[in-house]
A = this chain, B = another copy of it.
């Protein structure tokens, strides 16, 4: 069968590693059946017949990867930033999430969320939904139609939540979770279920036991929150006498990496043992710097995690973070690392623009397989950025244009987007 092959031409920029940023002025990136064939300064002879989409001097980068966000919180992003995490959940998050009981409401608001996601530079994401099976299926249906490729989680919450947003029993939580998984596997190819207990305080041990059974049955990945806030950490210690530190509240049930691909959001206060467990288990850290500022959580020691060789990607954490725009997350990641260096620990050097770009692409992308780079055999996720709106660009290198874009981009600057070779914007 003939392969579907095409090229994008423009100013190309991608990461090979944390410290290797590759740039090509007026280069070509070739897509063959949804996968990157290669990147070239000149179009090779064997490709001279293929379609070339010429994006002029626009930037062509791999799609961005959002390792942590809450779709139902999108409606109130940028509001009520006056509380810390636990109060914020009770005052704003839980009432907002309860509305997703109503499928019509879910379709309307998730529709807006997905519309904005498509227009953003993000191609892949790990997304929290609510406890509602139908609303979560609607979210996945909309993402599927839009051509996004994500992991989505129906939440588990059977304790420490208001009556109106609590699953009635561990058994019911497991039944609903299975029903949602079966349905979503029948209906969706690109958007897949991910096991998602909200966080340890929200789920009983019984639910965790059930989730491990389900994980083994369906081989699903797993996501939750870890060591975001000192109050939360103390609470977990109380709730889980078997756990010497927070990670053990997951690993106790076999839900912390290893044969369970795992993303943990935040990891601000992870100690040496927790770090060791993340390393052993190959756990991905979703660093969410804006959220960590907004809900006054703190600043994660990202440099230390990188030095330890842990997997670190970026998360917008909408609506702890106000925007789905991951360039803003890159800016905040640099700024937060600088403040941490200045105020907390001068042994951990600030993050650089190429480093946060790596985290937002290949760093988080590897959770999805070969995703987040233009190296050969990576899935062809590409985003076209127009920075011509910004004055004073004469003579800048692609790397400089990328750095400036991190600080000065607007959402409308995303001009086209491909996910696994399919154009979605």
A interface residues, Cβ below 8 angstroms from B: 74-82, 109, 112, 115-116, 290, 293-294, 296-299, 322-323, 332, 334-336, 338-344, 350, 352-353, 391-392, 396, 400, 403-408, 410-412
A123 to chain B, nearest CB (A): 21
Contact of A410 among B77, B80, B405, B412 (CB under 8 A): B412
User: With contacts A74-B392, A343-B344, A391-B112 known, is A335 near B293, CB below 8 A?
Assistant: yes
Is A299 a contact of B78 with CB atoms below 8 Å?
Answer: no
Contact of A78 among B112, B404, B411 (CB under 8 A): B404
- What is the copy number of this chain in the assembly? 2
A341 / chain B contacts, CB cutoff of 8 Å: 296
The docked-state distance in angstroms from the alpha carbon of A322 to that of B405 is 10
The docked-state distance in angstroms from the alpha carbon of A341 to that of B339 is 13
| 25 A–B contacts from the bound complex (CB under 8 Å) | A75-B392, A77-B392, A77-B407, A78-B403, A78-B405, A78-B408, A80-B403, A82-B352, A82-B353, A112-B391, A112-B392, A116-B391, A290-B335, A293-B338, A296-B339, A296-B342, A298-B342, A322-B408, A323-B408, A332-B335, A336-B339, A339-B343, A343-B343, A410-B410, A410-B411
Is A407 a contact of B336 with CB atoms below 8 Å?
Answer: no
The docked-state distance in angstroms from the alpha carbon of A80 to that of B334 is 12
Closest to A268 in B: B342
Closest to A390 in B: B78
A107 to chain B, nearest CB (A): 14
Is A81 a contact of B392 with CB atoms below 8 Å?
Answer: no
Closest to A82 in B: B352
A332 / chain B contacts, CB cutoff of 8 Å: 335
A78 / chain B contacts, CB cutoff of 8 Å: 403-408
Contact of A343 among B80, B112, B298, B334 (CB under 8 A): B298
Is A323 a contact of B109 with CB atoms below 8 Å?
Answer: no
The docked-state distance in angstroms from the alpha carbon of A338 to that of B289 is 13
Is A294 a contact of B339 with CB atoms below 8 Å?
Answer: no
A340 / chain B contacts, CB cutoff of 8 Å: 343
> Shortest 10 CB-CB distances between A and B: which pairs?
A322-B407, A78-B407, A78-B404, A293-B335, A75-B392, A296-B338, A112-B391, A410-B410, A78-B408, A343-B343
The docked-state distance in angstroms from the alpha carbon of A43 to that of B212 is 66
A339 to chain B, nearest CB (A): 6
The docked-state distance in angstroms from the alpha carbon of A182 to that of B33 is 70
A72 to chain B, nearest CB (A): 12
Is B338 a contact of A404 with CB atoms below 8 Å?
Answer: no
A294 / chain B contacts, CB cutoff of 8 Å: 335, 338
